[in-house]
Amino acid sequence: MTFYHALKIARASGYHRLFCYSDSQTMLDLVLKGYKNYHCYAAIIANIHDLLKLDWDISLSHTLREGNACVDFLAKLGLTNDTKLTVWEAPPNDMKELLSSYTLRVAYPRA
């Protein structure tokens, strides 16, 4: 569901080229390799397919959770939030250290 909304926001914001990384291989497989019409997320996946067919360049790739720490942070933050959608003008304060680590290319070993 989050991926679908992210694509809608990117499209509405006028982006024409996206590089999307997900630590969910299952989600990527459903979107890229197909699904059964009776799958519980079939309607959302069909909507994602419709968005992917539009005139823009989108690359979908798998990444390890350790390589996607900011997204993991936001996902966990979302679990504690009752709001359906939150858009930040700037990153949350607790996420700034993660962003600094990305900038410095700090490696995170797998646990």
pLDDT given for residue 63 in this prediction: 86
Angle between helices 69-79 and 96-103 (to 10 degrees): 170
The pTM (predicted TM-score) of the whole model is 0.72
- The 8 Å CB, 24+ separation contacts for 90-94 are none
Is residue 59 classed as helix, strand or coil in its secondary structure?
strand
Quote the DSSP letter at residue 95.
G
Mean pLDDT, all residues of the chain: 86
Residue 81 has pLDDT above 60, yes or no: yes
Both tokens of residue 56?
């823009």
Residue 68 has pLDDT above 80, yes or no: no
Residue 98 has pLDDT above 90, yes or no: no
- CA-based nearest residue to 98, from 90, 106, 89: 106
pLDDT given for residue 77 in this prediction: 86
7 burial via Cβ count (<10 Å: 0-12, 13-18, 19+): buried
- Give 70's pLDDT tier (boundaries 50, 70, 90): confident
Residue 109 has pLDDT above 90, yes or no: no
